[in-house]
Amino acid sequence: MRILIVDDEAPARERLAQHVTDLGGHEVVAGARDGDEAIRLASRHQPDVVLMDIRMPGTDGVAAARALAEADAPPAVIFVTAYGEHALAAFDAEAVDYLVKPVRRDRLARALERARRVTRPQLDALGGTVQGADDGARAHILCRRRGVLELVPVADIHYFQADNKYVTVCHAEGEDLIEESLRQLEGEFGDRFVRIHRNALVARDRLGRLEHGAGGRRYLVLRGLQKRLEVSRRHAGQVRDLLEHLGER
């Protein structure tokens, strides 16, 4: 992909450019010192991805990202910043990912792969931004992993499972804990996830097949995963009907 790097500090731009070069398969087309220059260079070079700092003199990264989102062919924006507290504001500006400095090369690789997968039409179909979707649903879930803020795309989540006061989010890159209730999540994402048990919500695209276990228990086998989740008697009928509707048995 063609990448524009935006940071008011030249060493930071150089470090990111070196990471991109080391990863291979991408081209750094330009570097910008602030948001205004980023907007001009994006218009000139038409990058696929913009790696954007947030705190910069003049037009900051969030404002620049909002301006870039108005382009006919907007680039994917990945924020790269030393300030984790700006995560929600950043994703309100339609960012694909959010990296906290110092950036690890493997984390940058995952962000770039995410930018490749999540095109603008897909983002729009999934509700767009964290806070700005027409239906009010977020496109990302905010987690704190080993003291670092991470945002997990809802499109990558396989299921939510409750355990005491925490909920485990199982997604394409692993598992994280969040302090949100299944009731809140179901209310927000009920069109994308199905309640199969009082302690579990499963993504509709992960519904596989029902299996019977000992003692009359039923289990849902998740599509593409080596995972079985118990289905409660209360929700078994709904799950069976949905599987039949999807052509599964």
- CATH number, position 90: 3.40.50.2300
- Of the candidates 155, 159, 118, which has an alpha carbon nearest to the alpha carbon of residue 139? 155
Q: Is residue 197 part of a domain?
A: yes
Q: Is residue 122 part of a domain?
A: no
Q: Is residue 178 part of a domain?
A: yes
Total domains, the chain:
2
Q: Is residue 71 part of a domain?
A: yes
The mean per-residue pLDDT over the stretch 86-94 comes to 59
pLDDT at 217: 92
Question: Cα separation of 54 and 224, whole Å?
Answer: 37
- Cis-peptide, bond into residue 102, ω within 30° of zero: yes
Note whether 108 and 50 are same-domain residues. yes
pLDDT higher than 60, residue 208:
yes
- CATH number, position 212: 2.40.50.1020
Question: Cα separation of 136 and 28, whole Å?
Answer: 35
Encode pLDDT of 145-175 as tens digits: 765 667 788 889 999 999 877 899 999 888 9
Domain edge (last residue) among 83, 117, 151 = 117
Note whether 207 and 109 are same-domain residues. no
CA distances to 25, 79, 153, 177 from 138, rounded to whole Å, are: 31, 17, 9, 17
Kindly indicate the confidence band of residue 125, based on its pLDDT and cuts at 50, 70 and 90.
very low
Q: Is residue 182 part of a domain?
A: yes
The mean per-residue pLDDT over the stretch 17-40 comes to 95
Domain edge (last residue) among 102, 117, 132 = 117
The mean per-residue pLDDT over the stretch 195-199 comes to 95
Note whether 177 and 210 are same-domain residues. yes
Note whether 64 and 22 are same-domain residues. yes
pLDDT at 180: 80
One-character DSSP codes across 25-40: S-EEEEEESSHHHHHH
- Mean pLDDT (the chain, rounded): 83
pLDDT higher than 70, residue 55:
yes
Check if the beta carbon of residue 5 is closer than 8 Å to that of residue 16: yes
* Paired tokens of 178: 């969040």
Write phi, then psi, for 197 (nearest 5 degrees).
-160, 160
pLDDT at 134: 42
Note whether 7 and 104 are same-domain residues. yes
Exposure class string for 109-147: b at 16+ Cβ within 10 A, else e:
bebbebbeebebeebeebbbbbeebeeebbbbbbbeeee
The parent domain of residue 81 ranges over 2-117
pLDDT higher than 80, residue 85:
no
Whole-model pTM?
0.54
What is the arrangement of strands in the sheet containing 200-203, beginning at the earlier edge strand? Answer: 174-178, 166-171, 157-163, 200-203, 193-197
Note whether 7 and 112 are same-domain residues. yes
**Max CA-CA distance within the chain?**
66
Note whether 94 and 144 are same-domain residues. no
Q: Is residue 25 part of a domain?
A: yes
Note whether 19 and 106 are same-domain residues. yes
Check if the beta carbon of residue 37 is closer than 8 Å to that of residue 23: no
Report the range of poorest mean pLDDT among 10-14, 96-100, 137-141, 182-186: 137-141
Q: Angle, nearest 10°, between helix axes 10-23 and 105-117?
A: 70
Q: Is residue 132 part of a domain?
A: no
Question: Cα separation of 200 and 219, whole Å?
Answer: 12
